[in-house]
């Protein structure tokens, strides 16, 4: 199991958390997604390592962005 | 046509606006609902005057609240 963490910017409420989780959860290979609103921490688990660009694209599709360097 | 305006507190994003609009739109007699995120202004149109308590209850069911005196 691989676990990667990112920081998401722009989420303001629980609806935002749900949207981000749903979009990242649809990335091929993702097994689990956790998002903490207060910190913006996005934790993604997968069987094989994921391309961070695909995670970033999913976060952007939900309407948010990854913090630079996260 | 009756138009009543209220101020909603606690909305932080477009998802919140959608939730509030949906819940208030389900109140019997409501014909139209507009919500402005920046100001919190909720505008409700209806054929007959509405009981403000029912609007307040719908706003609270969505997870927000009316400003005191609105």
Q: What is the CATH number of the domain that holds A50?
A: 3.30.70.100
Interface of B with A in 28-57 (CB under 8 A): none
B62 contacts chain A (CB < 8 A):
no
Count of structural domains, chain B: 1
* Residues on chain B touching A12 (C-beta within 8 angstroms): 12-13
Outline where DSSP puts E strands in A1-70.
Answer: 2-9, 30-35, 41-46, 65-66
Tokens for B42? 């909720």
Domain extent for A32:
2-66
Local structure of residue A67 (DSSP, 8 states): P
Report the pLDDT averaged over residues A22-33. 97
Q: How many CB atoms lie within 10 A of CB A11?
A: 24
Report the pLDDT averaged over residues B16-37. 97
pLDDT, residue A28, reads 96
Query: Model confidence at A39, in pLDDT bands (50, 70, 90)?
Result: very high
């Amino acid at each position: 199991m691989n676990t990667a963490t990112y920081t998401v910017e722009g989420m303001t409420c629980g609806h935002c958390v749900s949207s981000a989780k749903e979009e990242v959860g649809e990335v091929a290979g993702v097994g689990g997604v956790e998002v903490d609103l207060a910190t913006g921490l996005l934790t993604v688990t997968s069987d094989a390592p994921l391309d961070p660009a695909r995670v970033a694209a999913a976060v952007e599709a939900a309407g948010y962005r990854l913090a630079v360097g996260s």
